[in-house]
Amino acid sequence: MKVSKEEVKYIAKLAKLNFSAAEVEELSVELSKIINYVEKLNELDTGNVEPLSHPLEKKNVFRDDVNVKSISTGEALKNAPDKTGQFFKVPKVIKQ
């Protein structure tokens, strides 16, 4: 399948790209080669191939979820530069 120069210009417009006439000609040839290769892949018999959600076999790589004792609020606030009750006090960053 040949990709015309007009199609390349249309795709470039959709992508908000500008190409010179020489670049449009080159892209037309390159896109045609890509589409021809994909069409060649369509000739393969994939009837007995099981669909995959991912090309590689993956397994869960996360560690087991284990409950551990956390530090107390007082311990967390011990080295805080500024605090209010049980909370860290930080500079206001949202203007109203």
DSSP 46-63: -TTPPP-SSSS-----SP
Q: At 55, which amino acid appears? A: P
Asked whether the beta carbons of 13 and 24 are under 8 A apart, the reply is: no
pLDDT digit string, tens, across residues 13-69: 999 999 999 999 999 999 999 999 999 988 888 888 888 877 887 777 788 889 999
Helix (H, G, I), strand (E, B) or coil at 12: helix
What does the block give as tokens for 48? 């007995």
* Closest by CA position to 25, among listed 41, 44, 9: 9
pLDDT of residue 58: 76
Report the predicted TM-score, pTM, of the whole model to 2 decimal places.
0.49
CB distance 19 to 27 below 8 Å: yes
